[in-house]
Structure 1
Amino acid sequence: MTDLSHSPQGGLPDKRQVAASFSRAAESYDSVAALQRKVGAELLAQLPASCEPQRWLDLGCGTGYFSRALGERFTASQGVALDIAEGMLRHAQPLGGAQQFIAGDAERLPLQSASCDLLFSSLALQWCADFTAVLSEAERVLRPGGVLAFSSLCVGTLQELRDSWQTVDGFVHVNRFRRFEDYQRLCAASGLQMASLQAQAEVLHYPDVRSLTHELKALGAHNLNPGRPGGLTGRARMLALLKAYEQFRQPQGLPATYQVVYGVLRKD
């Protein structure tokens, strides 16, 4: 989940690695996607009451859970599900929800201009290094009056895991995220009108660190950053990580905080 608005050249994971990681996770993703369900449902609830699209796009559709939700909500509309990971699309397509399933990149949408009334994207755009290009493409593809509704992640996400690793070694173990202030600045400069933009913390709890790291791997969201350590993590380093993370323990378990950004923008 790397998303740096000011990263140095070469500081981001190769999108081919991102696509391959999520393709491999297609079969396991839904079993561990409770947070993704909650965030997507909240984003659906934030859609304007007047939103009745003729054609919608689920941008970063993953396994298609919200493509099916959009199809059920807008029964008279045409739906398009798009993802960079072809393995996700192969999983999603037999389950329906959309009329078209397309492999593509949010920074270069393979869609005609002014062809959609709603772009819905939940917890996918944090993978995009060029968020300005994402917003520009959304503005291009939307019809006048169309809506872009997105959720993403910002700085502070998995901070407990990041801080714990910092006590162990100097490698990059946790994916990086854009600052909320950058989302504000880029959305304000996009040419789209901001109906709402907010950040909200979601805290999950785990019995131990391995439960968290196994979940991240099952989601396809484990560490893909340049600078990550190669090979297996040594026993001594892992024990040091477990000790460091224990300092965060709460009565419910070990916390993992996600800082979720919700945005609803409209094209004049």
Structure 2
Amino acid sequence: MTDLSVATLAGHLPDKRQVADSFSRAAVSYDSVAELQRAVGHQLIARLPAGIQPQRWLDLGSGTGYFSRVLGERFAGSEGLALDIAQGMLAFARPLGGAQHFVAGDAENLPLQANSCDVIFSSLALQWCADFSAVLSEARRVLRPGGVLAFASLCVGTLYELRKSWQAVDGQVHVNRFRELETYRQLCAGSDLQVVSLQNQPHVLHYPQVRQLTHELKALGAHNLNPGRPEGLTGRARLQGLLSAYEQFRQPQGLPATYQVVYGILEKTR
């Protein structure tokens, strides 16, 4: 995929209502297949500045609240906010605690007061936002001076094995599109936040067969949500073609699924 401007990318990302509905439906099954999400989120927590002790933190794109609960334990005595666009996720997370407040909202237009948070933590949620510059602007508005935005997102190259295998079958788009790493770099550098670190790290999962991967994506609510995606059921011949094409990637550990993860730590200096 070539580099996409914000305006162009907006036409290639799924509608936010579809994203919200898809993740709401996946709330009950999500944690059972969230190996990658847990690994990435824990890595992101490890990248937080040492000794940071916020009075108020925000888990942005909080999902089932797994990391709201982790943050609640790490920052005991502080006030926690869990915010997600999917009402179903919030309904699932609320009884489990971790945060004091559970808020429905959009990362591009946060329903929070300016200078109200010391830490914004967001793991594997911001890839669904078409206007990442708006996300950064909103983070800066909501953070107090000295506050930190810690995010993990996905960039181009994610699930390239699945994308190439489908292209060999029918040439259609079956895999969600993501931003270029360079676009993240440019937008972060152009924001009014200081870039402490911005790194790309691949995470590779392995599966015995393709169906385990596709089942997991559906259970996560992260299956193909692209505009222009093929509609209707996939025929047996095309599925067999996918299985055959994906076999070229097989490794001793199984069939790989590569996720290109972007880790960013940004600070509001003034």
| TM-score past 0.5 threshold | yes
Aligned residues of 2:59 and 2:83 also touching (Cα < 8 A): yes
Q: Is the aligned partner of 1:65 residue 2:66? A: yes
C-alpha spacing 1:72/1:9, structure 2 compared with 1 (3 Å): closer
The code of the aligned residue for 1:248 comes to: F
1:251 & 1:115 partners in 2: Cα distance? Answer: 50
The code of the aligned residue for 2:197 comes to: S
Give the equivalent residue in structure 1 for 2:83: 82
Aligned residues of 1:52 and 1:74 also touching (Cα < 8 A): yes
Report how far residue 11 of structure 1 moved.
2.7
C-alpha spacing 1:37/1:180, structure 2 compared with 1 (3 Å): same
Give the equivalent residue in structure 1 for 2:171: 170
Report how far residue 14 of structure 1 moved.
1.0
Aligned residues of 2:11 and 2:227 also touching (Cα < 8 A): yes
Unaligned runs of 5+ in 2: none
C-alpha spacing 1:72/1:29, structure 2 compared with 1 (3 Å): same
Give the equivalent residue in structure 1 for 2:28: 27
The code of the aligned residue for 1:70 comes to: L
After superposition, the C-alpha distances for 1:86-125 in whole angstroms (9 at most, x for unaligned) are 0000000000000000000000000000000000000000
Q: Is the aligned partner of 1:141 residue 2:121? A: no
Report how far residue 9 of structure 1 moved.
6.1
Report how far residue 8 of structure 1 moved.
5.9
Q: Secondary structure at the match of 2:251?
A: coil
C-alpha spacing 1:9/1:151, structure 2 compared with 1 (3 Å): closer
Give the equivalent residue in structure 1 for 2:100: 99
Report how far residue 226 of structure 1 moved.
1.1
Report how far residue 241 of structure 1 moved.
0.7
Aligned residues of 1:4 and 1:129 also touching (Cα < 8 A): no
C-alpha spacing 1:10/1:201, structure 2 compared with 1 (3 Å): closer
2:9 & 2:201 partners in 1: Cα distance? Answer: 28
Task: Pick which of 6-15 and 204-213 moved more.
Answer: 6-15
C-alpha spacing 1:206/1:158, structure 2 compared with 1 (3 Å): same
Q: Secondary structure at the match of 1:107?
A: coil
Report how far residue 171 of structure 1 moved.
1.7
C-alpha spacing 1:95/1:155, structure 2 compared with 1 (3 Å): same
Give the equivalent residue in structure 1 for 2:199: 198
Task: Pick which of 24-33 and 48-57 moved more.
Answer: 48-57
Q: Secondary structure at the match of 1:44?
A: helix
Aligned residues of 2:13 and 2:177 also touching (Cα < 8 A): no
Q: Secondary structure at the match of 1:167?
A: helix
Aligned residues of 1:4 and 1:177 also touching (Cα < 8 A): no
Q: Is the aligned partner of 1:218 residue 2:219? A: yes
Aligned residues of 1:5 and 1:129 also touching (Cα < 8 A): no
Unaligned runs of 5+ in 1: none
After superposition, the C-alpha distances for 1:161-219 in whole angstroms (9 at most, x for unaligned) are 00001111132100001011111100000110011100001100001111100000000
C-alpha spacing 1:53/1:224, structure 2 compared with 1 (3 Å): same
Write out the 4+ residue segments of structure 1 that deviate beyond 3 Å after TM superposition.
3-6
2:4 & 2:257 partners in 1: Cα distance? Answer: 21
1:14 & 1:225 partners in 2: Cα distance? Answer: 8
Q: Secondary structure at the match of 1:199?
A: strand
Q: Please, what TM-score do these two structures have when normalized by structure 1? A: 0.97
1:171 & 1:238 partners in 2: Cα distance? Answer: 13
1:105 & 1:98 partners in 2: Cα distance? Answer: 18
Q: Secondary structure at the match of 2:231?
A: coil
C-alpha spacing 1:80/1:33, structure 2 compared with 1 (3 Å): same
Q: How many residues align?
A: 266
The code of the aligned residue for 2:172 comes to: F
The code of the aligned residue for 1:39 comes to: V
Report how far residue 13 of structure 1 moved.
1.2
Aligned residues of 2:56 and 2:80 also touching (Cα < 8 A): yes
Aligned residues of 1:5 and 1:130 also touching (Cα < 8 A): no
Aligned residues of 1:154 and 1:260 also touching (Cα < 8 A): yes
Aligned residues of 1:203 and 1:258 also touching (Cα < 8 A): yes
Report how far residue 76 of structure 1 moved.
1.5
In angstroms, what is the RMSD of aligned CA positions? 1.2
C-alpha spacing 1:10/1:184, structure 2 compared with 1 (3 Å): closer
Q: Secondary structure at the match of 2:112?
A: coil
Q: Secondary structure at the match of 2:169?
A: coil
1:5 & 1:230 partners in 2: Cα distance? Answer: 27
Percent identical across equivalent pairs? 77
1:226 & 1:133 partners in 2: Cα distance? Answer: 22
